[in-house]
Amino acid sequence: MPINPNKVEDSPTKGMMRFTYTCMMCGQPCEIDIPKDKAEIWLGPAPPFVQNLFPDMSPSEREVLISGSHGKCFDEAFADPEDLEELDLEDRIADDMGYYEDRDETGRVERAEEQEDEG
């Protein structure tokens, strides 16, 4: 079930509705404009899967409708550990999760669980 927007209003773009959410990750406004006919379906009692109703939207745009969060914020919060280095988030997420222990010779964070496995 999609999260309800904080505000739904006519968009400056003709034939579109603007959905405004407060991103659950960063707390900043998150807006997306969608066609009025699809807005009615999306807000209805049994909306279809977002990818079926909005096949032309990017995954980041669809994430706004699903969770009310920016696609980038969602990706950062729920990144696969293998993707952390690519997203340049490894240090921050490791620190946030309480894994921040020490850095190895390359500057990479050594997580507490990695250190336990070695020792």
**pLDDT tens for residues 69-89?**
888 888 878 777 666 555 555
* Lowest-pLDDT range of 17-21, 25-29, 44-48, 99-103: 99-103
Which positions ≥6 away from 58 have C-beta within 8 Å? Answer: 71
Query: 91 and 70, same structural domain?
Result: no
Query: 86 and 62, same structural domain?
Result: no
Rounded to whole angstroms, the Cα distance separating 102 from 106 reads 11
If pLDDT is split at 50, 70 and 90, which confidence band does 1 have?
Answer: low
What integer pLDDT is reported at residue 104 of this predicted model? 52
Bridge partner list, 32: 19
What integer pLDDT is reported at residue 56 of this predicted model? 93
In a domain, 114, yes or no: yes
Residue 36 domain boundaries: 7-74
Tens-digit pLDDT profile for residues 6-38: 899 999 999 999 999 998 888 899 899 999 999
* Lowest-pLDDT range of 18-27, 45-54, 75-84, 106-115: 106-115
This prediction has a pTM of 0.61
What integer pLDDT is reported at residue 100 of this predicted model? 45
Query: 46 and 102, same structural domain?
Result: no
Torsion sign across C-alpha atoms 110, 112, 118, 119: positive
Domains in the chain, number: 2
What integer pLDDT is reported at residue 109 of this predicted model? 47
